[in-house]
Amino acid sequence: MFFHNVMTLWKKELRSYLYTPVAAFFIGIYTSLLYGFFYIFLQKYQSYTQARSIGVASNITIDQLAEGVYNNMHFFMVFLLPFFTFRLFTEESRQNTLVLLMTSPIRSWELVLAKFKASLTVLLVMLLVTSIFPLYLYLYSEPGGGPDMGIILSTYLGLFLVGCAYMAMGLFFSSITESVLVALILSFIGNLFFAFMVNMFRSEDGGLMDSFFGYTGFQMHVSNFLKGTIELKAIVYFLSFCGFFLFLSNRSIESRSWRS
């Protein structure tokens, strides 16, 4: 029954994504921006190859150039992913459909999981759309000059994990308020906080607090993944981050009926 419930709710969420222009609109923006960056990347790459061919020494690799593109992708995710989560629960409150769900034989955590799963489906679509970049590089770069597939895989794993974390946090913020605007703003702040602001607390002295803030923020983990380093502790950190916010979302939804 668990599987059936989650599947039914997941399909409903996907349908909602399809029917609301918001999701399609932001996937459009995201894709066109990234294709723009990829174009710039190709031009840079070309000028480096030309420089090398006329004998000008350049030790920049294709992977380092690609890292720049993927850093931009992470930056966009911080601002765009809230648009895929801010309506998840606020809309249920606004349309009074939370009552329907909570008086049906489904459990609140099945609902939370289904919504999270739907947001991850969108995330996968976003990442798939960009998978054409490494494919292009692989097919058209000069022999031996193509990207390192290990680094590409690690990059995508990292972006997926950090995306999961943003989605889980956004899901939580949409569960604590009935206002879409509040959910959106809180998600922005939350994303910015973990993506960049935590780093500001670092003292760079290698002390306990420094490493604490280093590990809490996403920046360090993401740049490790983009460089091709897959660390188990980073994977564990992102997964427990998601688990924590999904747990809080479930609590928040459960308590709705107690408070209303």
How many residues touch another protein under the rule CB under 8 A: the total is 27
Q: By C-alpha distance, which of 2, 5, 192, 150 is closest to 66?
A: 150
Distance CA(54)–CA(158), nearest Å, equals 37
Q: Is residue 36 near another protein by the rule CB under 8 A?
A: no
For residues 101 and 129, which CB has a smaller minimum distance to another protein in the complex? 101
Judged by CB under 8 A, the residue of 2, 15, 24, 138 near another protein is 15
Q: By C-alpha distance, which of 227, 38, 36, 68 is closest to 131?
A: 38
DSSP state letter for 95: T
The token duo for 137 is 């590089």
Min dist CB 259 to another protein, Å, is 9
Q: Is residue 31 near another protein by the rule CB under 8 A?
A: no
For residues 12 and 227, which CB has a smaller minimum distance to another protein in the complex? 12
Among 103-111, 121-129, 136-144, 156-164, which window interacts with another protein (CB under 8 A)? 103-111
Distance CA(69)–CA(127), nearest Å, equals 13
DSSP state letter for 142: P
Distance CA(136)–CA(140), nearest Å, equals 6
Among 43-51, 89-97, 171-179, 194-202, which window interacts with another protein (CB under 8 A)? 89-97
Q: Is residue 255 near another protein by the rule CB under 8 A?
A: no
For residues 62 and 111, which CB has a smaller minimum distance to another protein in the complex? 111
Q: By C-alpha distance, which of 246, 189, 161, 180 is closest to 20?
A: 180
Distance CA(35)–CA(59), nearest Å, equals 25
Judged by CB under 8 A, the residue of 22, 42, 99, 157 near another protein is 99
Distance CA(185)–CA(72), nearest Å, equals 21
For residues 60 and 100, which CB has a smaller minimum distance to another protein in the complex? 100
Among 94-102, 155-163, 190-198, 207-215, which window interacts with another protein (CB under 8 A)? 94-102
Q: Is residue 5 near another protein by the rule CB under 8 A?
A: yes
146's CB contacts (< 8 A; 6+ apart) are: 62, 137, 138
Q: Is residue 105 near another protein by the rule CB under 8 A?
A: yes
What residues numbered 129-168 form the site for another protein, per CB under 8 A? none
Distance CA(41)–CA(140), nearest Å, equals 14
Distance CA(118)–CA(102), nearest Å, equals 19
Min dist CB 111 to another protein, Å, is 9
- Chain residues in the site for another protein (CB under 8 A): 1, 4-5, 8-9, 11-12, 15-16, 19-20, 95-107, 257-258, 260
